[in-house]
Amino acid sequence: MRVESTTNHISKTVESTFNTGETTGANYEGVPTTQPFFLLPKMEKVNDANRVGRNAPTHVCNTYWSPGQIGLADDAETGVPARLLRRALGGSVTDTTVSAGVYDHTFGILPPQTGPILPSFSFISVLDAATFLLHGCMVESFKLSQKGAERAQFEAAIVNSGKFTTPHGVTSLPAQGTPKCLDGWRTVVSYLDSDGTTTVDLSSLGKVIDWMVEHKNNIRTNKRRQGDPTITVNTGIGAYVRSMPRGKYETNAQIIVDFADLTDWQKSVKNEELSNLKFTCIGPVIASTYRHEFEIIVPRFVFDSPDTGDDEGDAATPINIICLEDATTKGTITGRIRNATATLL
């Protein structure tokens, strides 16, 4: 059998209680990814090889089911990738009806003052006998990027508590849906200048070569305690964790633009505070003039020192974005998704 034959599904719901997986097939959707994989939960083991007088282990003991990590990557769109971004940031969602059948979903980073626990969810992977339902999944990192006028890409890393069910036991899982293509040439990268009124539209100026935004949660997957629950497979037994708090999160962003003058360099030198940096990926029409949109916003930022580079011989400047804490959201980035779905969990 071929690894490309694996089918993967993610729950459209989030867990009401950590480690309580979704068991209704209609509450799942197929996962798009260009990176084929299948799952086999790993058991962590210890042995006595480090004892004085031993040259090799004489026995092996099971400890914990490893949290593992699932990597997904594909074209960005307003279905599963949007759901992963929302869960990576973790803040509450505001759903707004823009027009009949058109909805906006806005959300920020879960404030540390609110708590360290991100939304958890379920993931199912099937390749013949390797059929597993993972409970207690969280998004460790999410990245959105674009090269030239190619379609924007997403990358996501998912970790879980170690808890699983096999076989997964969920019936009537839906087929993978058809993604909504976000046209690379429609992307808009813009920000509000330091005067607070002038919008700088880098896309209309034709300056943008590449860009990326990445958010990492540094989830603590090793919060192991006495009394942790266990899973037994045949006669083998291992434990799994009951909590996975987020660590100190990191947000990184970068734009690479054509070098035209010293404007960006001067803004960096002066530490000019800029605002509302938007990476807006735009797709097909939902209704009337409303289109699918996938947007990440950096509310407050400054340019780090621009570097020097080239784009096939043309002078270019990679600029790292220093994302500042926003006074309103208390985070570094926010998200906005426009699609045809009334809610986004």
Amino acid 2 reads R
Question: Given this model, what pLDDT does residue 113 score?
Answer: 85
Chain Cα centroid distance, residue 50 = 40
Alpha-carbon Rg of the chain, whole angstroms? Answer: 23
pLDDT at 175: 87
Residue 334: inside a domain: yes
Q: Look up residue 208 and give its two tokens.
A: 């943008």
For residue 112, what pLDDT is reported?
A: 85
Prediction pTM value: 0.96
Domain contains 344: no
Residues 114 and 91: their CA atoms lie apart, in Å, by 9
Do 34 and 4 meet the contact criterion of CB atoms below 8 Å apart? no
- 194-201 mean pLDDT: 96
In the chain, how many domains are there?
1
pLDDT of residue 319: 97
Evaluate if residue 176 carries a pLDDT over 90. Answer: no
Average pLDDT, the chain: 96
CA dihedral 308, 314, 318, 319 (to 10 degrees): 100
Q: Is residue 86 part of a domain?
A: yes
Question: What pLDDT, on the 0 to 100 scale, is given for residue 78?
Answer: 97
Asked if residue 32 is part of any domain, the answer here is yes
User: By the 8 A CB rule, do 18 and 119 touch?
Assistant: no
- Residue 301's contacts (CB-CB under 8 Å, 6 or more residues apart) are 191, 253, 273, 274, 275, 277, 321, 322, 323, 324
Predicted confidence band of residue 55 (pLDDT cuts 50, 70, 90)? confident
Say if 26 falls within a structural domain: yes
Has residue 24 been placed in a domain? yes
pLDDT in tens, 277-329: 999 999 999 999 999 999 999 999 999 999 999 999 999 999 999 999 998 88
Bridging pattern class, strands 274-287 and 230-233: unpaired
Query: Is the residue at 71 inside a domain?
Result: yes
Name the residue range of residue 62's domain.
3-339
